[in-house]
Structure 1
Amino acid sequence: MAVNAYEQGLDRNPANHQPLTPLLFLERTAQVYPDFPAIVHGAIRRDYRSFRDRAVQLAHALTTCGIGRGDTVATLLPNIPEMLECHFGVPMAGAVLNTINTRLDAATIGYILDHGHAVAVVVDREFMPVLRAALAECAVHPLVIEVHDALAPEAVLGETLGGVDYEQFIAGGRADFAWAMPRDEWDAITLSYTSGTTGNPKGVVYHHRGAYLLATGNVLAADMARHPTYLWTLPMFHCNGWCFPWTVTALAGLHVCLRAVRGPEMWRLMSDHAVTHLCGAPIVMATLLATHDSDRRDLPHRVQFVVAGAPPPEAVLAAMQDAGFAVCHVYGLTEVYGPAVVNAWHDAWNAKPGPERAALMARQGVRYLALEGLDVIDPETMRPVPPDGATMGEVMMRGNVVMKGYLKDPAATQSAFAGGWFHTGDLAVKDPDGYLQLKDRSKDIIISGGENISSIEVENALYKHPAVAVVAVVAKPDGHWGETPCAFVELKPGMSATPEEVIGFARQHLAAFKVPSHVHFADIPKTSTGKIQKHVLRDRVRGG
């Protein structure tokens, strides 16, 4: 056998091979653009030198507490500077960052803290009451690090859990701390929980390599140039803000923080800071458009809005364009670091009539450059469906921006990766040009305001009502939220209830955004074997 000259004496070594990690983005930007504005939040103005130093101080402070490789540090934070610092400082300590959805109920937060074995939790005072309730039922007793943001609601200004103050905590760390690179780019960098469709939420593990690649993939998908100004309308607890904390930092951009999505404030910040990009669910778009003219501001240039979720209707797209926005439609899941599919637009499509443009925009699109494989596949045969725009199959992905797997759940991980593909559970068709379009969600997930809601979780809660015999929950189209849960209920013989009573009962058992917006009492359609025909109910609420 001939010797391969390209393998002789050409081994990996520290000079030619380093683990990919987005942590180095901050180091480079702070070195090249130390005085450039990095973060704006109320009266706070920080440059990249300060941003970098505070993140490293956080890393050192965590290390001095014995927190390091393999440990989990959780957060309950809105989109404030401390959340950005955690995206760098926590993994710089070798730990894994777990950004918890602040909209979850105490029981779910408690489960996540226990399941992820959080050794510390960084919490904003607005969320201290729910954390207090969660910790009361937790087996773990993490170090509590309290953030006292000046822009927090006045009603929570006095909240405390008796933990250590964040500013005092990082003051104990050194900015010259020699933080350790990951030993391997496969090392875990973050942990995110997704509700799935049944049982407890699953912990999705990201690695440094995937975070690096998706962050750079965002640059191309969102058409970002150097020094963008990014408005934080997308929660950073969602898939680490789709990796944009690292993307914007890599480009030496300005992070414009926003505690809560409010129309007038978004318009003000976009105008005052010349925002170039923002991301979010369709509800963010609806909030912008619903803002009264008196609260709107003139935009200095066209703003790129990256939207995920239900495709915007033609009228909304036209209204966004008139308001000064360019819309980029993306699709993804928690398991692929956020968006991994983009509706890559062709300039020639701009000349098409409005309805045709809207139909083209409604498609989810093609793979990110950072995703190596995307197809619509028959899950039984594992063969791609024909590109005829009609044959449905399951959306499957493979590549370096697919999760490591589900934490402590090898069975679910193996199932998700069956046949060498990540199975999304979403059903789609593939058009002749290769663009895919979702047609249904095989697991009946409801996406409301960008939040995934399990229909089964809502049903299980309603089944606890003493008068409920049978219940089925489906997605009801909603002009504001995109979708909301709609419950169909059969009552037990001789029992009675009102829709208001059932909704009130649901509020006692579910996070607010999971509570059904409508309850209908009716005979629920079933097959001859007793299976509920949810497609009939979906057609009913959609007027089909």
Structure 2
Amino acid sequence: MDDGDLQRQPANHVPLSPISFLLRAARIYPGRVAVIHGQRRLTYAQMAERSRRLASALRRAGIGPGDVVAIMAPNTPEMLEAHYGVPMTGAVLLTLNIRLDAAAIGFILRHAGAKLLLVDREFTRTARGAVPEGMTVVDIADSEAPDGETLGATEYEAFLAGGDPAEPVRMPEDEWEAISLSYTSGTTGNPKGVVAHHRGAYLNAAANALAFNLTPRSVYLWTLPMFHCNGWTYTWAVTLQGGTHVCLRRVEPGAIFAAIAAHGVTHMCAAPVVLTMLIHAPEAVRRPLPGPVAIATGGAAPPSPVIAGMEAMGFDVTHLYGLTECYGPATICLPQPGLEAMPLAERAGFMARQGVNHPMLEEAAVLDPASMAPVPADGRTLGEVMLRGNTVMKGYLRNPEANQAAFAGGWFHTGDLGVMHPDGYIEVKDRAKDIVISGGENISTLEVEEVLYAHPAIMEAAVVAAPDPKWGEVPHAFVTPRPGAEPPTEAEVIAWCRARLAHFKCPKRVSFGPLPKTSTGKIQKFELRGRLQGV
């Protein structure tokens, strides 16, 4: 067929961007409640107006295409608005992890070259020690939290009032333009900036809506932090379907049960620690669910007691796997016919798998990293989990060496080791990067080890993941005291770390003694993990 005279034009080609989801929802469902936060209610018309005001105010503050705008806030309406208002200017949204310390936040802001910071007043004290000189700061005062310190010269509502919602929205000229920037610890002390594009955000949000069965009647509870790779793109997916966002500032069992009962929540996502939290919640805060609640979880696979406990309360658990580098979910453990009839132990074994590629991801495979050939689908042969498709990041910001390694051979290398089962389902067996995932947070063991090595009485140190009934896993430190020095106590080592790291990164336990090594002197972390698991 000769179609050389058929050209791409505005009538038949529009760059994909999730900005369009809000514009569509406001047009089709203007009066529908889009956001619930405590006593606040915003319709889709109001959410769109506020987002457009934010975009206008940012332009008037000197923000333009390619500029980075950071936000440090929990799951609030302002965080949602930033996911639309910032990209409406062509700027790049940087969502900051509210659990990080000032040193980490400061590094991220400087590395990203952020020009403006929106900060919830609960976190202004941390931000004060992190903001580079000359950065514009806008304070967010949330009625659901005690008012904190003032850091910026402008308050968020006053900032919005200075914007004009009638100003035209800037849609991307190229869907490859960056929409967001997220920082992940990786395996080094300094985090890497993951650059996401409009196309990937659009497609992954659409995939979430499809895979999680979101509809205009869906009520989504924000227990997953929106700062985690844009809330796995559910910040956009729920809006795509015209569902209702229920914001939750603090993830506590009582607040979760109350929100589900009050608002008829149908969907939520959470780290495994939240599932455990709900199962072991005091009877005084529990409430019967008004209907089935679909809950998606990622990170450590949910063990059978957790699955059983959640099902007994009326939750339907879905296991996902992904990384910040692939917009959150990359694989999903889709149920097969007959799964519900399996005994719990057998069913839990199946649900522990990371599954098959997410709807808009082109391919997920387990490959031999040396030959780049697929490993046998026998459920036993280890390989590296690799991904390719439109929902993989643009790359790491200003880090060519990391990008070369990440994209070698035409695939994104996750660094996770897994097997391929005969039915085509992937199961992750180990983390090649030695990352500890605690309560959904990535912790670099090398970063913790660097702090331990700085202790004057420690000669060697290694940190591995230890199983934990609440957090899924936590850092456990193995240290060898320096000869001739007074050996530190476990409490002293933990205190040393807490003075130098964000508290969630610190070891919860410390073991003392010689470290197992290979003939070349490399510490054998697999043996240390085995000690903690009784193998």
Alignment of 1:322-337 (within 5 A): 322-337=312-327
- Name the residue aligned to 1:150: 143
Corresponding position: 1:44 with 2:40: yes
Q: Distance in 1 between matches of 2:45 and 2:250?
A: 27
Q: Secondary structure at the match of 1:118?
A: coil
Q: Distance in 2 between matches of 1:486 and 1:100?
A: 26
Aligned AA (2:31): D
- Name the residue aligned to 1:9: 5
User: What is the deviation of 1:351?
Assistant: 1.1
Q: Distance in 1 between matches of 2:367 and 2:59?
A: 46
- Name the residue aligned to 1:518: 509
Corresponding position: 1:179 with 2:164: no
Tell me, yes or no, if the aligned pair for 2:124 and 2:148 is still in contact at 8 Å: no
Tell me, yes or no, if the aligned pair for 2:138 and 2:152 is still in contact at 8 Å: no
Deviation readout 1:305-330 (Å, 9 max, x if unpaired) = 00001111111101100001000000
Q: Secondary structure at the match of 2:181?
A: strand
Deviation readout 1:272-300 (Å, 9 max, x if unpaired) = 00000000110111111121122111211
User: What is the deviation of 1:346?
Assistant: 1.3
Corresponding position: 1:442 with 2:432: yes
Alignment of 1:221-370 (within 5 A): 221-370=211-360
Q: Secondary structure at the match of 2:370?
A: coil
> Which TM-score applies when normalising by structure 2?
0.99
Q: Aligned-residue CA RMSD in angstroms?
A: 0.9
Relative to structure 2, which stretch is displaced further, 390-399 or 223-232?
A: 223-232
- Name the residue aligned to 2:483: 493
Corresponding position: 1:539 with 2:535: no
Q: Secondary structure at the match of 1:134?
A: coil
Deviation readout 1:351-378 (Å, 9 max, x if unpaired) = 1111110100110000011000110000
Q: Distance in 1 between matches of 2:208 and 2:438?
A: 24
Corresponding position: 1:391 with 2:381: yes
Tell me, yes or no, if the aligned pair for 2:361 and 2:390 is still in contact at 8 Å: yes
- Name the residue aligned to 2:73: 77
Q: Distance in 1 between matches of 2:80 and 2:456?
A: 46
Corresponding position: 1:63 with 2:59: yes
Aligned AA (1:514): K
Corresponding position: 1:168 with 2:158: yes
Alignment of 1:15-164 (within 5 A): 15-135=11-131, 138=132, 141-152=134-145, 154=146, 157-164=147-154
User: What is the deviation of 1:543?
Assistant: 1.1
Q: Distance in 2 between matches of 1:89 and 1:283?
A: 32
Q: Distance in 2 between matches of 1:162 and 1:486?
A: 39
Query: Which structure 1 segments of 5+ residues have no match?
Result: none
Q: Distance in 1 between matches of 2:395 and 2:118?
A: 25
Query: Which structure 2 segments of 5+ residues have no match?
Result: none
Corresponding position: 1:202 with 2:192: yes
Deviation readout 1:480-522 (Å, 9 max, x if unpaired) = 0000000001001122210000000000111110000000111
User: What is the deviation of 1:241?
Assistant: 0.1
Q: Secondary structure at the match of 1:223?
A: coil
Change (3 A) 1:239 1:162: closer
- Name the residue aligned to 1:214: 204
Q: Distance in 2 between matches of 1:205 and 1:384?
A: 28
Aligned AA (2:401): A
Relative to structure 2, which stretch is displaced further, 344-353 or 256-265?
A: 344-353
User: What is the deviation of 1:158?
Assistant: 4.0
Aligned with 2:518 (options 522, 527, 535): 527
Q: Secondary structure at the match of 1:397?
A: strand
Q: Distance in 2 between matches of 1:303 and 1:141?
A: 46
Q: How many residues align?
A: 534
Q: Distance in 2 between matches of 1:264 and 1:41?
A: 16
User: What is the deviation of 1:411?
Assistant: 1.6
Aligned with 1:467 (options 439, 443, 457): 457
Aligned AA (2:490): P
User: What is the deviation of 1:199?
Assistant: 3.8
Tell me, yes or no, if the aligned pair for 2:322 and 2:330 is still in contact at 8 Å: yes
Tell me, yes or no, if the aligned pair for 2:87 and 2:93 is still in contact at 8 Å: yes
Corresponding position: 1:424 with 2:417: no
Q: Secondary structure at the match of 1:122?
A: strand
Deviation readout 1:23-57 (Å, 9 max, x if unpaired) = 00000000000000011111111100000000000
User: What is the deviation of 1:150?
Assistant: 1.1
Q: Distance in 2 between matches of 1:289 and 1:123?
A: 33
Q: Secondary structure at the match of 1:426?
A: strand
Q: Identical aligned pairs, as a percentage?
A: 54
Relative to structure 2, which stretch is displaced further, 214-223 or 358-367?
A: 214-223
Q: Secondary structure at the match of 2:530?
A: helix
User: What is the deviation of 1:414?
Assistant: 1.5
Aligned with 1:504 (options 495, 499, 502): 495
Deviation readout 1:436-470 (Å, 9 max, x if unpaired) = 10000011000000000111111001111110000
Aligned AA (2:533): R
Relative to structure 2, which stretch is displaced further, 347-356 or 44-53?
A: 347-356
Aligned AA (2:173): R
Corresponding position: 1:484 with 2:474: yes
> Which TM-score applies when normalising by structure 1?
0.97
Q: Secondary structure at the match of 1:30?
A: helix
Q: Distance in 2 between matches of 1:226 and 1:329?
A: 23
Q: Distance in 2 between matches of 1:309 and 1:225?
A: 26
Aligned AA (2:139): E
